[in-house]
Amino acid sequence: MKNINPLIFRFLVVLFGLLAWSELAAQSPQFNILSLKDGLSQGTATSIEQDNYGFMWFGTRDGLNRFDGYKFEVLKYNAQDSSSISNNDITSLLVDNNGDIWAGTTFGLNKINTRTLQAKAFYHWFEDPTAISSNKIRALAEDHHGRIWIGTNNGLNRLDDWEKNDFKKYSIESDQEKSLSNNTVNDILIDSKGRIWVGTDGGLNLYLPETNDFKRFRFKFEDDNSLSNNQIQTICEDLDGNLWIGTKYGLNKYNPEMDVFTRYFAEKPKAGLIASNIINDVKIDVSGDLWVGTPSGLSRISHEMSKSIQYNTIPGKTNSLPNDHILSLFSGSSNMIWIGTNSAGIATLDMNATQFYSVVYSGQDGFEPEENQIYSFFEADTNHFWVGTGRGLVVYNHYFDKSFFFANSTKRRLGTISKPVMSFAKTADGIYWLGTDGGGLISYQFPNDSLVSYTTQFQNPFSISSNTINDIKVTSKDNLWIATAGGGLCYFNRVTKSFRTYRFDGADQSSIRDNNVNSIVLDSDENVWFGTGNSGLYFLDVKTDELKNYTAGNMKEGMLPSNSINQVYFDSFGQLWIATSGGGLSKYIAEKESFETFNVNNGLSNNVVLGLTSDGNGTLWMSTNGGITTFNVKTETFRNYNEQEVLGQNTFYPRSCLHTSSNLVIFGGANGFDYINTLGIRENLFIPPVVITAFQLMDKPDNASELNILSESPEKTVLEYNHSGFTIEFAALNFEQSDKNQYAYRLIGLFDQWRYIGNRHFATFSNLRPGTYTFEVKGSNNDGYWNENPTSMRIVVRPAYWQTSWFQILIIVAVMGVLYLFYRYKLSSEKERNQQLESAVKVRTTEISRERDTNAILLKEVHHRVKNNLQIIVSLLNLQSRFISDSKLLNVFSEIQNRVRSMSLIHEKMYKTKDLKTVNIEEYITDLSKSLLSTYRLGQKVHLDIKVDVNSFHSDTLTPLGLIINEVISNALKYAFQEDKTGTIIVRLSKLENGRFTLIIGDDGIGIPNDIIMGKTESFGTELITALSEQLNGTIKLLGDVKGTVYEVEFEDVA
């Protein structure tokens, strides 16, 4: 434990003993209010319950309300709806073992299906002896056998089977002491052992099932161990099995084993234990503490009854009880207390919520407004810390919640300080250093009450550079580094009592660029890091006296996010953190000389970070323009505390923060200061159930009807194909800061990945294609603990009739039928057409056959006539040649005859063939060659060597080919074999691989003269051979390396 200097301790004891302390409104709890503006149907909450799904139910004087943390669903009587509740004035509620809600009203009893929200009403009828005894219901309970017990203003009723509507009645009988003590039944309790306790206007009753009687417990004037009053309002059982009975006069504890009542009143045995002797409701919370609701406020009593806390309405406090008149209480499993008030709605008190305490000086008698402005803190010892205000110094004792203002004291010189105190420091010699706004630097010693001020002296260059001191840090040699506003950075040498100033110098580029220095820290080498108002962060190497400036730039490149630095801070691990104005929180990475920034995108509440400190666990605490935030440096996650949790609803000041040795974290601002004990912080470990609360079609604005559609089939919803879209609403039933519950959903069949949507609790879809989808949603509580078991709903979008399988099958069958009929029609038509065609073909074939036979005859006749005509020409030429004596002319006539004869031979061969188109080549060449030998009378001397590998040619090819053969053989017979020499004429005809043909023709005689070969003399035969070869798209050449004269002709079949 940190020890206080004995002199200071004695001084404070004297001050706190002799001077007046101001009582402050601190340590007030945080109540959240649900009222008409939130959707509650009426402000008087007579009863509270929580169903098996986790919904909260509130009975009011005007309707039954179901609450999911966001909105209310209100059930009211509707004369047009037989399934509505019987009356709007709700008096009592019960959740049975099946999860249904029983609601008692001033006119009838109701059993409500929590899924459909439809009610079955039970009424009293005079003519029906099995009906309930009265329509005015006052109390409800369910025993271990599942029987419902109903208290009315006319006796007690038991319903064994709600479907049979047969009520067993119990009432007071004047001649029977074992009957019910009074017919007005106000409360019923089934204790942990199954015993049934009935509270009436005539005392307490224990039901004896063996005899079907009651044992009465009543007030006895002479017996202090009896009930304090007979008018029983409420009964509950504590964790030890004791009964607590609230009456119209006093609270009673009953020990069933000892059969003894202990009475508790507002004034005794301990004054102030309960707020009033009229007890409206009593409940036990999960820790065993007793909560007592009275017309004069709410009391929380420790289970050993040693102490209590009173909660009352505080005028001007928005988060106090809304009304002191408490009618009903409910203690939830998550340690949240629900309080129903008279006319002021419902209040909730979360016992697990982080508890901030506020100290506010405004409105206190004798205090100035400036004293509520808190700029700085300094820890004096484990119970006291100094507070720098806008008007001097305050000492605060957080244990007793007391404050002492030095400004109100004339016995110490500290009382002369009236300027705002902006910073504190203490040197090893016990001297306190205070930085003020306008009053310079002040040193103070307690023992001799000496106070020294250091202010700016313009004629002295070694004086302090500014009278506004933002921050002070002490070196190992007890010298000071001082951050000033407008005067730059100062170093105070206490030995020489001189100040050295680092400030902007236009002639020195290495000087600092901004004289507004906001914050200073010293690293392990006592180098100085300081932040400025507009020129970023500076590092001063004290050994070299060199400055290095870090300014704002591209954060992706590791630069600062802002040049405006509110505070620089080293945590317990030696990590440097920078609180910026507008850029968030930055972490200095020493190895890279760069910065990593965390801002609102990472979960920070606001990018203006004002104050920065850390607790004993290494968690960073910071004040921002959006409230107080913590940062877990290990997980790099934020937790934000908004204005509902910070009671002062403060606007915080830069650097106004402190972490004390007693684990308090304190933040100051314009409206006092707020603090919290970090050891008391508890996370909410409750895993909330997630429910689907509404299904809203876009084209149907009536949400109630859509909710009923959802309720009737909660696991499946069917939509038509032409729906325009829908919205699904859901809620995680965690009521502790439900606005911080988080959600994720997916629609399997459309997308399978979870979509995390923050605290938005609805999802909208439009124009889903026909099919089956599964909607799944999961949620977390306010501290991020997720329920990983999603709630699901199956959504079926019906297809249009033309999209259904049966319609598509019908269409396919119809199309196939049409195609089959068309096929049959085409087949029949085709058959008929084929028959017609066959008939026509037969007729035409006959005609063609006739025509072909006729044409064949005609063609044969043509070939025959052409051949005869050519023979006539030959004969005429022969006759004419007899009259020619000129040998040359005679030779010409002979050549013409041979040429004509070759053509005639072709036509002769043509009309002798069957197809009249082709001729046997080998036979033709042989006959032509023999005819020429006969003409030149060389048949005995010249032999023919003919080899033909081609079967036939068309007539268009045969004519020029025959003429070529005729010319070559004629020349050979004329020139190759003279002087009766013998020889051979060769003919070779074959087909080449490229589809063309080759003719090799010649003789082995003496050869033709060179002038004929070379074209030196005019030769009709040579020109004719060349022309005929071209007609066959061919070429002709003379083979020079063989005996005699041999030609090679390459040609095509030109048909």
Domain boundaries, the chain: 47-278, 690-795, 925-1054
CA distance 579 to 620: 11
Token output for 589: 């990475």
Q: What angle do CA 492, 456, 654 make, to 5 degrees?
A: 75
Q: What angle do CA 829, 834, 837 make, to 5 degrees?
A: 125
Distance of CA 376 to the CA centre of its chain: 43
Q: pLDDT at position 9, please?
A: 37
Distances (CA, A) of 432 to 408, 411, 442, 568: 20, 18, 8, 22
Ramachandran quadrant class, 381 (left: phi over 0; alpha: psi -120 to 50; beta: rest): beta
Q: pLDDT at position 909, please?
A: 57
Q: Is the pLDDT of residue 465 over 80?
A: yes
pLDDT, tens digit, for every residue of 898-912?
666 666 666 565 555
pLDDT, tens digit, for every residue of 476-500?
999 999 999 999 999 999 999 999 9
Choice between 282 and 26, residue whose per-residue pLDDT is larger: 282
Residue 428 identity: A
CA distance 54 to 99: 10
Ramachandran quadrant class, 7 (left: phi over 0; alpha: psi -120 to 50; beta: rest): alpha
CA distance 408 to 419: 14
Per-residue pLDDT band for 703 (boundaries 50, 70, 90) equals very low
Backbone angles phi and psi of 997, in degrees to 5: -125, 155
Backbone angles phi and psi of 361, in degrees to 5: -95, -10
Yes or no: say if 464 and 456 are a contact pair by the CB < 8 Å rule: yes
**Max Cα distance, the chain (Å):** 191
Q: Is the pLDDT of residue 42 over 80?
A: yes
| Beta-bridge mates of residue 47 | 59
CA distance 660 to 641: 20
Give the homologous superfamily in CATH for domain 925-1054: Histidine kinase-like ATPase, C-terminal domain (3.30.565.10)
Of 818, 813, 910, which is closest to residue 860 (Cα–Cα)?
A: 910
List of residues 6+ apart from 681 with CB closer than 8 A: 354
DSSP conformation class of 4: P
Q: What is the DSSP string of 410-468?
A: SSSGGGG--S-EEEEEE-TTS-EEEEEBSS-EEEEETTTTEEEEE---TT-TTS-S-SB
CA distance 871 to 850: 31
Yes or no: say if 631 and 585 are a contact pair by the CB < 8 Å rule: yes
Half-sphere exposure of 888 (CA within 13 A, CB side): 0
Q: pLDDT at position 529, please?
A: 98
Per-residue pLDDT band for 980 (boundaries 50, 70, 90) equals low
List of residues 6+ apart from 585 with CB closer than 8 A: 577, 578, 579, 597, 598, 599, 604, 609, 612, 620, 622, 631
Q: What is the mean pLDDT of residues 885-891?
A: 69
pLDDT, tens digit, for every residue of 114-142?
989 999 999 999 889 999 999 999 999 99
CA distance 259 to 41: 43
CA distance 26 to 653: 20
| CATH architecture, domain 690-795 | Sandwich (2.60)
CA distance 761 to 765: 14
- What does DSSP say about strands 627-632 and 637-641: parallel, antiparallel, or unpaired? antiparallel
Q: pLDDT at position 528, please?
A: 97
CA distance 664 to 658: 8
Q: Which helix (H) or strand (E) holds 703?
A: helix 703-712
List of residues 6+ apart from 924 with CB closer than 8 A: 905, 906, 909, 958, 962
Of 84, 78, 39, 81, which is closest to residue 60 (Cα–Cα)?
A: 39
Q: Which helix (H) or strand (E) holds 632?
A: strand 627-632
Ramachandran quadrant class, 304 (left: phi over 0; alpha: psi -120 to 50; beta: rest): alpha
Per-residue pLDDT band for 24 (boundaries 50, 70, 90) equals very low
CA distance 979 to 984: 15
Choice between 418 and 862, residue whose per-residue pLDDT is larger: 418
Domain 47-278 has CATH 2.130.10.10: yes
pLDDT, tens digit, for every residue of 552-601?
999 999 999 999 999 999 998 999 999 999 999 999 999 999 999 999 98
Distance of CA 455 to the CA centre of its chain: 58
| Residue 1019 three-state SS | coil
| Residue 1052 three-state SS | coil
Q: Is the pTM of the predicted complex or chain greater than 0.75?
A: no
Q: Which helix (H) or strand (E) holds 968?
A: helix 955-975
Token output for 750: 């459309």
Highest mean pLDDT (candidates 315-324, 667-676, 701-710, 882-891)? 667-676
| Beta-bridge mates of residue 59 | 47, 64
CA distance 264 to 819: 96
Residue 977 identity: F
Distances (CA, A) of 1028 to 795, 960, 973, 1021, 1052: 91, 5, 20, 10, 12
Q: pLDDT at position 1, please?
A: 33
Ramachandran quadrant class, 973 (left: phi over 0; alpha: psi -120 to 50; beta: rest): alpha
Q: List own/partner pairs for 593-602 with CB under 8 A and 24 or more apart.
A: 594/557, 594/558, 594/559, 595/550, 595/555, 595/558, 595/559, 595/560, 595/561, 596/558, 597/555, 597/560, 597/561, 598/631, 598/636, 598/638, 599/561, 602/636, 602/638
Q: How many CB atoms sit inside 10 A of residue 308's CB?
A: 18
Residue percentage of the chain with pLDDT more than 90: 52
Choice between 1014 and 344, residue whose per-residue pLDDT is larger: 344
CA distance 691 to 99: 15
Of 629, 659, 632, 627, which is closest to residue 644 (Cα–Cα)?
A: 627
CA distance 636 to 391: 39
Q: Is the pLDDT of residue 723 over 60?
A: yes
**What ranges in 787-913 are assigned the alpha helix state H?**
805-881, 887-912
Q: Name the average pLDDT for the chain.
A: 85
Query: Which residue has 């409360």 as its token pair?
Result: 187
Q: What is the mean pLDDT of residues 703-718?
A: 53
Of 95, 161, 86, which is closest to residue 130 (Cα–Cα)?
A: 161
CA distance 435 to 15: 24
